[in-house]
Amino acid sequence: MPNKTLQQNVIDELSWDPMIDSEGIAVSAHADGTIMLQGTVGSFREKYEARQSAKRVSGVTHVDDQLDVRLLTGHRRHDAELRADVLQALMLNTQVPDTINATVKDGVVTLAGTAQWRYQRSEAEFVVGNVAGVVNVHNDVDVHSLVPEASYIHQSITTALEHNARLDADNITVSSSHGHVTLTGSMHSWPERDAAVAAAWSAPGVTNVDDRLKIYY
């Protein structure tokens, strides 16, 4: 697909999404399918949604997100006040364990602590990203769980991939060691790649997933 066509398709997708003010976003496309997003948005959630929108476009293989979050003066908050709301949001979400903590500096939230499952780590980041006044999130939460035999992890992931209707499991190779899983192979779209990674993270005992899957159209 020509770069200009891919670029325009991403611009159209961003303009179509009501959660995004695309006026401040510049889009550029490269021959390998990489999309670069530059400019400014009004919230961390908007930055997240812009990245997700770009990934949905057919032909995109990678999103280089260089968007800056610039809050309106009335939306800026003191770090202490913002941290209180962040901690409250984490506490009220039943999917986030109390082993996850947060600090705030200049509107940037850093998550630390441990979680037993990757979805808990991801949920904490998503919840914090929706708090008004947050300009960025650094997720330093470690996933720690009891690690079963590598063969059990491998079989669990392989079975999950085979059962997923959105995936061609024959194109995915799984290797694991001490809770660390590596995925290699080729995918036909971002949703397919995300589904494969999610399936790997859902296996009991997985503490890290090295995503080496490539997208080919």
Whole-angstrom CA distances from 71 to 17, 53, 60, 125, 180 are: 20, 21, 29, 19, 38
- pTM of the predicted model as reported, rounded to 2 decimal places: 0.69
Q: In which band, very low, low, confident or very high, does the pLDDT at 14 lie, cut at 50, 70 and 90?
A: very high
Q: In which band, very low, low, confident or very high, does the pLDDT at 116 lie, cut at 50, 70 and 90?
A: confident
Q: Could you report the per-residue pLDDT of 62-114, keeping only the tens digit for each?
A: 899 999 888 766 667 899 999 999 999 999 999 999 999 999 999 999 999 99
Mean pLDDT of the chain, nearest integer: 87
Euclidean distance between CA atoms 178 and 133, whole angstroms: 39
Last residue of a domain, which of 54, 69, 84?
69
CATH for 194 = 3.30.1340.30
Domain membership of residue 51 as a residue range:
3-69
Q: Give the count of domains, the chain.
A: 3
